[in-house]
């Protein structure tokens, strides 16, 4: 079946530095990808929609200058957490659908970010 891969699986960074997370659709093209954040014992919260070749669409309350999203190709979206702080520590997950707007979505394995 279709696969979405995230890299890295986990990362520890120092406060004030930036971290880039990659999300790839391995066997299908995705004009749209989605980024979620999940805090411990909570549900997934949609952060933004990544659009290939255009600007990302951010959900209300998500700082676009803090969470930079780039979707430069049909198989790759990146999320950069800029000037990370301990409160940005979370589980970040991406997803994509082979058929736009319907059918099953595939999720990456997630990236555990710890800011120290």
Partner 1 sequence: DAKTTQPPSMDCAEGRAANLPCNHSTISGNEYVYWYRQIHSQGPQYIIHGLKNNETNEMASLIITEDRKSSTLILPHATLRDTAVYYCIVEGGSEKLVFGKGTKLTVNP
CB 83 → partner 1: shortest distance, Å?
26
What's the rounded Cα separation, in Å, for the pair 32 and 74? 8
Shortest spacing between CB 104 and partner 1, in angstroms:
4
Contact status: 30 vs partner 1 (CB under 8 A): no
The reply on whether position 7 binds partner 1 by CB under 8 A is: no
| Token pair for 43 | 């549900």
> d(Cα 56, Cα 35) in Å, to the nearest integer?
10
Question: Quick check: 11 binds partner 1 (CB under 8 A)?
Answer: no
Tell me which residues in 60-89 interact with partner 1 (CB under 8 A).
none
Which string of DSSP letters, residue by residue, matches 27-66?
SS--SEEEEEEE-TTS--EEEEEEETTS--EEPTT--TTT
CB 66, min distance to partner 1, A = 20
Q: Which of 19, 21, 25, 36 binds partner 1 (CB under 8 A)?
A: 36
Which member of 19, 24, 25, 34 binds partner 1 (CB under 8 A)? 34
Residue 34 CB-density burial (10 A; 0-12 exposed, 13-18 middle, 19+ buried): buried
For partner 1, the binding residues (CB under 8 A) are 4, 6, 32, 34, 36, 43-46, 49, 91, 93, 95, 97, 100-110, 112
């Amino acid at each position: 079946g279709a696969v979405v891969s995230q890299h890295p699986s986990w990362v520890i960074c120092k406060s004030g530095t930036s971290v880039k997370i990659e999300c790839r659709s391995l066997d299908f093209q995705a004009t749209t990808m989605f980024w979620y954040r999940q805090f411990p014992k909570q549900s997934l919260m949609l952060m933004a929609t990544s659009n290939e070749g255009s600007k990302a669409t951010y959900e209300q309350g998500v700082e676009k200058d803090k969470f930079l999203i780039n979707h430069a190709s049909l198989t790759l979206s990146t999320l950069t957490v800029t000037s990370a702080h301990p409160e940005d520590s979370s589980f970040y997950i991406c997803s994509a659908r082979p058929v736009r707007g319907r059918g099953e979505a595939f999720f990456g394995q997630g990236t555990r970010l710890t800011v120290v």
